[in-house]
């Protein structure tokens, strides 16, 4: 099958070429949107990533160009108009699970870095500054951690934090019995937020969860709490988070995802003027850590992403049931 890959980087080419089973893979660096959709002309399928825009207009155009199959090489699908795909009878598949450990462990990396300031210590020591001034952290042991969204990643994250000796509270629309057996207590958000020293977001982005962290919920948090988001940027109302950082209500913010990330993340903009004043303001805080959507970025996860996507393409070509179909 001839497949157009959008938003690709060298690692996408490496892993997909390694696990390809004979398909014709064409890799475009361009993201998929209304301006670039014509690149998919002459292909049978497309493969898209987190910031590609699969809105109604793009899907209508893909259908008109003869695209028969959409493979997302990610877990989240908030960027896809599933109803439009269904209307054109174009199946959409995703990679529902590719190492939940990769993302959960990255959330923990953000916590440890913000807390123990290893990023600052690294730079200091390299410049011959061996002072410990302003590097004070806190013990994770005995602290209360709130997990919002206890699916595959949230569950792994909760287990790691329990390993540090933390008390773990959770909020989800469906309680996970295994987690309860593991000693995690489910609470409504309004009860969970005021108790937590650290809150980590692991729910998908949808109409219910957009800005789940905004002025009201930030106000419910403990003074000086740490907020971690490795899920999707728009779970946090960024402007409200900036206000909470200014007052000290929010003590630390660690994000791997950002509301307007599609214009920034995955690109090297070091010689460019960055026009996004919100992210520049965020990065000016000493207690904010931003990584550019790298939670998934481990060898195991990239292998799983390539293998699962190629398997879905093979299944579609051979008319087999699509186990990872979302529409």
Q: How far is the CB of 190 from ligand NAI (least distance, A)?
A: 13
The reply to whether 262 belongs to the active site is no
The reply on whether position 177 binds ligand NAI by CB under 6 A is no
Q: Are the C-beta atoms of 313 and 67 separated by less than 8 Å?
A: no
The piece of 128-136, 165-173, 241-249, 280-288 that touches ligand NAI (CB under 6 A) is 165-173
Site for ligand NAI in 242-261 (CB under 6 A): 256-257
**Binding range to ligand NAI, per CB under 6 A, among 52-60, 112-120, 204-212, 278-286:** 204-212
Closer to ligand NAI at the Cβ: 136 or 208? 208
Residue whose CB is nearest to ligand NAI in the complex, by number: 151
Q: Stretches 52-60, 121-129, 224-232, 261-269: which one binds ligand NAI (CB under 6 A)?
A: 224-232
**Judged by CB under 6 A, which of 149, 233, 251, 254 binds ligand NAI?**
149
Residue 232 in contact with ligand NAI, rule: CB under 6 A? yes
- Distance between CA 221 and CA 197 in Å, rounded? 8
29 as an active site residue: the answer is: no
Instruction: Specify whether 119 is catalytic.
Output: no
Residue of 73, 94, 106, 293 marked catalytic:
293
Query: Closer CB to ligand NAI, residue 149 or residue 254?
Result: 149
Residue 152 as a binder of ligand NAI (CB under 6 A): the answer is: yes
| Interaction between residue 214 and ligand NAI (CB under 6 A) | no
- Closest distance of CB 94 from ligand NAI, Å: 10
- If one asks whether residue 227 binds ligand NAI (CB under 6 A), the answer comes out as no
Q: How far is the CB of 237 from ligand NAI (least distance, A)?
A: 15
**Per-residue exposure over 110-143, b if at least 16 CB sit within 10 Å of its own CB, e if not:** bbebbbebeeebeebeeeeeeeeeeeeeeebeeb
Q: Which residues bind ligand NAI (CB under 6 A)?
A: 75-76, 97, 100, 103, 148-154, 171-174, 202-205, 208-209, 230-232, 256-257, 293, 295-296
């Amino acid at each position: 099958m001839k497949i157009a890959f959008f938003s690709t980087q060298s690692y996408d080419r490496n892993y997909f070429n390694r696990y390809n089973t004979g398909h014709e893979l064409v890799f475009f660096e361009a993201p998929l949107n209304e301006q670039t959709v014509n690149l998919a002309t002459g292909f049978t399928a497309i493969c898209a990533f987190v910031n590609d825009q699969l809105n109604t207009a793009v899907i209508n155009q893909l259908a008109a160009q003869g695209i028969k199959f959409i493979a997302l090489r990610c877990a989240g699908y908030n960027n896809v108009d599933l109803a439009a795909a269904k209307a054109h009878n174009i199946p959409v598949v995703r990679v529902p699970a590719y190492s939940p450990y990769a993302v959960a462990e990255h959330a923990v990396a953000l916590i440890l870095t913000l807390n123990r300031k290893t990023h600052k210590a690294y730079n200091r020591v390299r410049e011959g500054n061996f002072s410990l001034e302003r590097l004070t952290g806190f013990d994770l042991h005995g602290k209360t951690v709130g997990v919002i969204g206890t699916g595959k990643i949230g569950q792994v994250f909760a287990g790691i934090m329990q390993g540090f000796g933390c008390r773990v509270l959770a909020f989800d629309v469906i309680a996970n019995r295994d987690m309860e057996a593991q000693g995690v207590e489910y609470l409504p958000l309004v009860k969970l937020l005021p108790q937590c020293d650290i809150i980590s977001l692991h729910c998908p982005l949808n109409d219910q969860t957009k800005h789940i962290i905004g002025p009201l919920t930030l106000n419910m948090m403990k003074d000086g709490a740490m907020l971690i988001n490795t899920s999707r940027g728009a779970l946090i109302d960024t402007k409200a988070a900036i206000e909470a950082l200014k007052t000290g209500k929010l003590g630390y913010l660690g994000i791997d995802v950002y509301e307007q990330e599609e214009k920034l993340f995955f690109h090297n903009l070091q010689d460019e003027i960055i026009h996004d004043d919100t992210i520049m303001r965020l990065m000016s805080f000493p207690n904010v850590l931003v990584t550019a959507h790298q939670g998934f970025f481990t060898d195991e996860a990239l292998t799983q992403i390539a293998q699962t996507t190629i398997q879905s393409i093979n299944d579609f070509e051979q008319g087999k049931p699509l186990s990872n179909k979302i529409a």
